[in-house]
Structure 1
Amino acid sequence: MSRLRLLIVLSVLSIIGILAVQAIWVRNAYALRERQFRQSAFIALQDVADDVAQLNHFTINRYAVTQLSPDYFIVNTDAPIDPVTLEAFIQRSLQQHHLITDYEYGIYNCETDRMVYGAYVSTSSSTPLTTGIQGKNLPKFPRYTYYFGIRFPNQTGFVAGQLSGWLWSTVAVLVVVMFFGYTLSVVLKQRRLTEVQRDFINNITHELQTPVSTIRVAADVLQSDAILQQPDRLKQYARVMGEESRRLQKQINSVLQLARSERNGFVLDREVIDLHELMTTVADRFAPYVTLGLMAPDARLQADRYHLETSLNNLIDNALKYCTTTPCVLLETRLERGQLIWSVKDNGIGIAPEHQKAVFHQFFRVTSGHTHNVKGFGLGLYYVHQVMRAHGWRLTLTSQPDQGSTFAIACPYLKSVRVNERKSECPSGAKVV
């Protein structure tokens, strides 16, 4: 167990380290590409300034480009220039330096201290957009008499597009991490399943050995000649063999029933069932510990009688086993919001909130310390949950430790069949409240 925990911790730390290193690499690569973009833009705009100077037959003896922000530059021209010519220079220079991205620019006039022309140039359109740009103010720079300002609004997207290799590598790392995490979860799930199966094998071995051993001892006694002279003792051992054989048959049936349902699913043989009648019959079987509270005037439904009766038996059997005082089980029915609600309520030890979902899992049993206080296979509530789901009914559990449990099932009833409201009587000790 400690090795597995150590493996999990080291694996998680490794994944975090890989993701952290990848994030740092991507951030550094982005910063490098961003610097390269600014340097390329600076050189390209310096070339534009040289082209303008050559066009006007003078030489610029200093750097003509000033960067005011990460995506905004101003370029000194020292002379007025035609917007069409300037735009041609800009386009050519940016393409030469592989800066294929949108930009907007404006030309400053020193005589009016205003921008005389401006346009937004998109790589997806060859026609500059000039609407709303002309006439705007540009800041005045004492060093520059004539200049134009240029901004790259999509600089972030352009730089990110240059990182396609890094982005794909990041995606590959994330995919590997996800597969690793999924593999780790499968390993943990298989480990838990192995532990559950081991507990199940231990439980079933003990549960099956006990009646088999008892039957073998009783059979040895019955084979002796002296037993024929003791009729009372003979009847006692015959009764023990009958009880243990029925117990063994019940345990085998529960395992075979689960195996059949897992292999073929629940094949429901639906028929019209009077739930009140069924509850009365089941309550008589568990008398005098069961009380009936049959409040629904109409309790007829479409269900598989065998699976429904077996589920009811399992719920009552659990209520009787997990009780430290005199068991008191209440079977109730009522109509609520157009549905038939029937429930099994007990005064048992209850179920802690952290176990209430797991009790419906296969082989799961709530333990006390490292031992099970009540013998069993952990199949009863799993079977009940499967039956309810096969019928399309909703099963809810309400429970608190030492305050008992209530299993409530909501299902549709047959509205077309009306039954006169009656008081059901439970024979042989089962009571109706």
Structure 2
Amino acid sequence: MNKRIFLALVILMSLSLIGIILVQAYYINNSLRNTEEQFNFNVRKALSFVSKTIEKQEKEQHIFWLSKAIQESGTKADTTAILNFYVEQKNNDTNETLIYRNGILEENFKLSSALFDIGLDSINVKRILSEKETKVIEDGSVDGGTSLTALLSQIATQEFADIFSESSYNEFAYRRPIHKRVSVEEIDRLLSLKLLEDEIDIDYEFAIYSNGLATKVKTENFELKKGATFSAPFFSNKKDKSNYRLLVNFPDRKEFILSSILTMLILSIVFTSIIILAYSSAIYQLIKQRQISEIKTDFINNMTHEFKTPIATINLALDSIRNPKIIEDKEKVLRYLGMIREENKRMHAQVENVLRISKLEKNELNISKERLDLHSLVEEAITHVELIVEDRGGEITANLNAEKTSVLANDSHFTNVLVNILDNAIKYSPEAPKIIVTTEVVGNNILVHVKDHGSGMSKTAQKRVFEKFYREHTGNIHNVKGHGLGLAYVKRIIEDHQGHISVESEKDKGSTFTIKLPLIS
């Protein structure tokens, strides 16, 4: 895939994912805001209901009491007079007495019974005049001692209550202490009923404040919190003004509002997480496939280069042998045959490496293990490469100091592991190779350190050196032959032996490979 197309694809996918997340966040935030606004509306509605209901109940009780007091006063309406009504209320808390007076003018009239089809000789009509309004009520007497006193009493009482109750209520109701006008229990009962109608079932604390100061009407745990307290006027007067306010707090308000959209929030998070994981996996796979494609291209180029040289050598050797002058020279023929054999072995070894890795990936490589002495395996591996090291003027030093050396391993494969590591140390030593092999026991494990003084590798190469096909880039220079399969094979074989391999390296100062294997008793 073209690099620009790949980059454009990644950018577009990233922008699409970010857009999806932002849209999800917008709708969740919008839903949360709407839920909160609905909650606030329902709470304010409940507070208004409680305030109006309690105020209505108090006024009805006052009118009932006043009507009863007027009825029990025994007033008579037989002559024109000024009647003075007094209401006396004593406040035991402040030792004050409130006296309310209202004057009413009575005028009597006599009308013919013909106006009223009730079978009476005559009817007395009394008109009550007050500052607020004019009302007409009836009274009379009939032959035989029958009268309408009861009717007059009822009508007069009701008419007077209408005139007198509103003004008297405003006078002495606001003089009563708030804790005698309403109780915590009554507010709690009404408030909880109204909130439950709107499915608000959470704990709350409330209090009544007068001119910004707390009164005795409040719950135990109420705390005034700015920005989190709901407020509504309480006991408003005829001008819709009030010194009292009903305040309510919901300690678990945020949790309640969040719980209303919790299902949607969880599903959104789950699906968004799945999209993110799928996207990340897709990007990772794309990048990995691109890397593999590049590595395979390098592998094919290296493999072609590796095969090209021995094939060319074999062809030259065969052409030389076919030469009549050479074919008669037995020594030269044997020499060319030896070259053909070595190059053939070289190609065969490379093919074997590829096939071995393929079998390992398919778990088709049978590795039988037995009790072996690790020092013997190390010495055998050193024997395989000792002549090459000496030919380049180098040396291998073996410090086999481990006291316990018994491991469970496969002789052939583990020897190949050690040979591969030693071969790498030789190949990546530009000058005469100097290799030190050391063993030591740490806990229940034996460690094998293979240290060289070669070219070393970068930090990036150290992380990827055991990957299949990986070779550190050195531009177009291929002064070290190979195709990146040796160390991948090494790592897989060691892992099959329940071991571990690591590398420490510094550029131009050499590398140290460390193999850790479990000991057996």
Q: TM range, normalised to the smaller chain?
A: 0.7 to 0.9
- After superposition, residues 107-122 of structure 1 pair within 5 angstroms as 114-116=215-217, 118=219
**Out of 229, 249, 274, which is 2:328 matched to?**
229
Rounded Cα–Cα distance in structure 2 between residues aligned with 1:5 and 1:137 = 57
* In structure 2, distance between residues paired with 1:179 and 1:263: 27
Deviations 1:254-286 (Å, cap 9, x if unpaired)?
A: 112112211126543222222223322322332
CA contact (8 A) 2:381 2:416 kept: no
Shift of 1:114: 4.2
Among 170, 183, 188, which residue is 1:87 paired with? 188
CA gap of 1:35–1:387, structure 2 versus 1, over 3 A, is same
Alpha-carbon distance between aligned partners in 2 of 1:172 and 1:396, rounded to the nearest angstrom: 39
**1:271 and 2:370 are equivalent in the alignment:** yes
- Please tell me whether the aligned partners of residues 36 and 257 of structure 2 are also in contact (alpha carbons under 8 angstroms): yes
Answer yes or no: is 1:97 the counterpart of 2:195: no
Deviation at 1:174, TM superposition (A): 3.9
**Correspondence for 1:129:** none
Per-residue CA deviations over 1:182-208 (Å, capped at 9, x if unaligned) read 222222222222222222222223323
Alignment of 1:27-426 (within 5 A): 27-57=29-59, 80-106=181-207, 114-116=215-217, 118=219, 133=221, 148-164=246-262, 167=265, 168-169=267-268, 171-264=270-363, 267-287=366-386, 288=390, 289-415=395-521
Identity %: 29
Distance 1:231 1:267, change over 3 A: closer
Deviation per CA, 1:36-55: give whole Å up to 9, x if none. 32122112211121211222
Amino acid at match of 1:324: P
Q: 1:3 aligns with which of 2, 5, 11?
A: 5
Superposition deviation, residue 109 in structure 1? 9.4
| Separation (CA, whole Å) in 2 of partners of 1:342 and 1:171 | 48
Q: What value does the CA root-mean-square deviation take over the aligned residues?
A: 3.2
Cα distance change, pair 58–169 in 1 and its aligned pair in 2 (3 A): farther
Decide which moves more: 302-311 or 93-102. 93-102
Secondary structure of the corresponding residue to residue 361 of structure 1: coil
Compared CA separation, residues 271 and 113, structure 1 to 2 (3 A): closer
Change (3 A) 1:109 1:389: same
Q: Would you say the 8 A contact 1:109–1:115 is kept in 2?
A: no
Match of 1:425 in 2: none
**In structure 2, distance between residues paired with 1:295 and 1:170:** 58
Q: 3-state DSSP class of the match of 1:360? A: coil
In structure 1, distance between residues paired with 2:194 and 2:408: 81
Mapped to 2, the partners of 1:251 and 1:201 lie a distance apart of: 12
Q: Which residue identity is paired with 1:9?
A: I
Q: What TM-score results when the alignment is normalised by the length of structure 2?
A: 0.66
Question: CA separation in 2, counterparts of 1:371 and 1:313?
Answer: 25
The structure with the greater share of residues assigned to strand is 2
Q: How has the CA–CA distance of structure 1 residues 41 and 240 changed in structure 2, closer, same or farther, with 3 Å as cutoff?
A: same
Q: Could you say if the C-alpha distance between residues 113 and 47 of structure 1 is closer, same or farther in structure 2, counting changes exceeding 3 Å?
A: closer
> SS at the partner of 2:409?
strand
Q: Distance in 2 between matches of 1:19 and 1:303?
A: 53
Distance 1:115 1:137, change over 3 A: farther
Note the C-alpha offset of 1:223. 3.9
State how far apart, in whole Å, the 1-side matches of 2:254 and 2:442 are.
60
Partner of 1:73: none
- CA shift digits 1:151-201 (9 cap, x unpaired): 112211222233357523454334323322222222222222222222222
Distance 1:413 1:332 in 2: 16
> How far apart in 2 are the matches of 1:154 and 1:4?
50
| Partner Cα separation in structure 2 for residue 358 and residue 133 of structure 1 | 63
Q: Does the C-alpha gap of structure 1 residues 232 and 268 become closer, same or farther in structure 2, counting only changes over 3 Å?
A: closer
Query: 1:58-91 CA distances to partner (integer Å, 9 max, x unpaired)?
Result: 69xxxxxxxxxxxxxxxxx897224443323212
Shift in Å, 1:324: 0.9
CA distance in 2, matches of 1:32, 1:17: 22
Any conservation in 2 of the 1:114–1:137 contact (CA below 8 Å)?
no
The number of aligned residues is 382
Structure 2: state its 5+ residue gaps: 62-177, 235-240
Which piece of structure 1 moves more, 41-50 or 336-345?
336-345
Amino acid at match of 1:38: N
Is 347-356 or 275-284 further displaced after alignment?
Answer: 275-284
In the superposition, the TM-score normalised over structure 1's length comes to 0.78
Shift of 1:146: 5.6
Q: Which amino acid aligns with 1:172?
A: F
Q: Secondary structure in 1 aligned to 2:362?
A: helix
Counterpart secondary structure, 1:286: helix
Deviates more, 1:205-214 or 1:392-401: 205-214
